């Protein structure tokens, strides 16, 4: 019953709702949406300085002058790598953005939402220096996404190994987040690439979360033998992570845009092995036997572009919470799972003080700060001086 209540709650941007947010009590999910449901999508939420002052953190600019920073990873406490969507892996060392990229890809396609996207470190990076990237390219006939592994030599990459060069892509719904799970396997999110009619066929790579070994081979214990699919029925998932210390996986997913279903319906899902998440048969609050319903639904759209569990003690109130950046929503959301049953979402809130335009990746730093990137240069934002930027949330001093 409680879950039904969660599903029925349409999140609406509105000042009215915002004023009812109590930063740490997080009761939005239980509020009666009735009085709010007539608000229009264009309504703006304004960040309240009063609320931000009450919070236990500060937000600082970390780097600026980037172009659509899609993925952020730390290779050491001093060195960050950032994928810029138009094709460069940038190095930020001791807080300084280096002019020379680690690599610039010459075969990138970045005409719409696609481009240089996912970036992940091998679980044994400290010893083997392996990194993994995903990017869209034109294979001569059509767009596709490559997942490629390289050795990071500090100021260049070598030892290229292509894991996939055939993940379906389009200018829209091209995925493609990469992250290693606690099982040491590489997980890859793929979009429906505009072919939603075939997502339900498990024998293709459209609208899936894939799971492979770090060399691209298929693990023996995948749900279907010889198949890289871990879950299916996704429209365009772009954020995955695992509740700290468990194998419980959360994912964010973009809902329909009007042309392919009623607008909104963005999702937070708890991903289970072999699960079918419904697209395109069901979306929003609809359910169907054999398909997993979302833990949270956001209407109107917030456009969730990332996903990260926070595991540090640095900001104690955030420990074991799930965070994701929102493009259209111009926000970071904080999702609070039930600590006794982390597969269940207790509540969520919009993080106070985040008012920097479109937000894309969210990453935990080795220092316990939460780093996040703006995405105002992606063609849909309003570009501010110094964009795009990476910010960080640190405990209030």
Q: Which residues bind Ca ion (CB under 5 A)?
A: 277-278
Nearer to Ca ion, 232 or 376 (CB): 232
| Least distance from Ca ion to the Cβ atom of residue 176, Å | 18
Residue closer to Ca ion, measured from CB, 9 or 277? 277
Alpha carbon distance 352, 300 (integer Å):
19
- Rounded to a whole number of angstroms, the minimum distance from the CB of residue 224 to Ca ion is 20
How far is the C-alpha of 354 from the C-alpha of 391, rounded, in Å? 10
Least separation in angstroms between CB 255 and Ca ion: 8
Residue with Cβ nearer Ca ion (282 or 354): 282
Task: For the CB of residue 284, give the shortest distance to Ca ion in the complex, in Å.
Answer: 9
Q: Which of 299, 303, 269, 305 is nearest to 284 (CA)?
A: 299
* Helix, strand, or coil (residue 335): strand
**Residues composing the chain:** 397
Nearer to Ca ion, 264 or 278 (CB): 278
Smallest gap from residue 350 Cβ to Ca ion (A): 22
Distance CA 122, CA 178 (A): 11
Closer residue to Ca ion (CB): 272 or 394: 272
Using the minimum distance from each CB to Ca ion, give the nearer residue, 168 or 278. 278
Question: Exposed, middle or buried, 64 (CB in 10 Å: 0-12/13-18/19+)?
Answer: middle
CB of 292 to Ca ion, least distance (A): 7
Closer residue to Ca ion in complex, CB, 21/249: 249
Least distance (Å) between residue 351 CB and Ca ion: 24
CB of 267: closest distance to Ca ion in angstroms?
Answer: 5
61 versus 288: smaller Cβ distance to Ca ion: 288
Query: Of 122 and 253, which has the nearer Cβ to Ca ion?
Result: 253
**Minimum Å distance from CB 278 to Ca ion?**
4
Query: What CA dihedral angle connects 52, 53, 59 and 61, to 10 degrees?
Result: 100
Residue with structure tokens 């190095």?
91
């Amino acid at each position: 019953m409680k879950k039904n209540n969660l599903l029925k709650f349409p999140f609406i941007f509105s000042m009215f709702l915002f004023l009812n947010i109590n930063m740490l009590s997080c009761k939005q999910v239980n509020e009666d949406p009735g009085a709010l449901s007539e608000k229009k999508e264009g309504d703006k939420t304004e960040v309240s300085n009063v609320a931000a002052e009450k919070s236990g953190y500060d937000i600082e600019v970390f780097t600026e002058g980037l172009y659509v920073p899609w993925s952020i990873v730390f290779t050491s406490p001093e060195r960050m790598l950032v994928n810029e969507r138009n094709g460069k892996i940038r190095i930020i060392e001791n807080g300084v953005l280096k002019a020379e990229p680690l690599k610039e890809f010459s075969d990138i396609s970045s005409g719409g939402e696609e481009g240089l996207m996912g970036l992940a470190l091998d679980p044994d990076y400290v010893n083997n220096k392996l990194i993994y990237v995903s990017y869209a390219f034109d294979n001569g006939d059509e767009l596709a996404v490559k997942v490629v592994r390289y050795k990071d030599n500090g100021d260049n990459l070598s030892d290229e190994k292509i894991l996939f060069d055939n993940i379906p892509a389009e200018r829209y719904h091209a995925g493609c987040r990469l992250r290693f799970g606690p099982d040491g396997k590489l997980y890859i999110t793929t979009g429906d690439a505009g072919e939603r009619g075939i997502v339900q066929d498990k024998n293709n790579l459209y609208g899936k979360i894939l799971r492979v070994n770090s060399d691209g081979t298929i693990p023996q214990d995948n749900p279907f033998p010889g198949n890289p699919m871990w879950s299916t029925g996704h429209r365009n998932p772009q954020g995955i992570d695992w509740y700290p210390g468990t194998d419980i996986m959360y994912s964010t997913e973009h809902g329909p845009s009007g042309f392919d279903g009623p607008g909104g319906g963005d999702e937070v899902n708890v991903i289970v092995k072999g699960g079918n998440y419904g697209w395109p048969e069901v979306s929003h609050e609809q359910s169907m036997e054999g398909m997993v319903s979302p833990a949270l639904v956001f209407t109107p759209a917030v456009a969730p572009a990332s996903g990260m569990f926070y595991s540090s003690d640095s900001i104690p109130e955030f420990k074991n919470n799930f965070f994701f950046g929102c493009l259209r929503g111009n926000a970071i959301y904080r999702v609070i799972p039930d600590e006794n049953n982390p597969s269940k979402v207790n509540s969520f809130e919009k993080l106070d003080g985040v008012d920097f335009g479109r937000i894309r990746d969210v990453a935990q730093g080795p220092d316990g700060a939460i780093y996040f990137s703006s995405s105002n240069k992606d063609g849909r934002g309003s570009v501010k001086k110094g964009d795009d930027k990476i910010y960080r949330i640190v405990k209030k001093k």
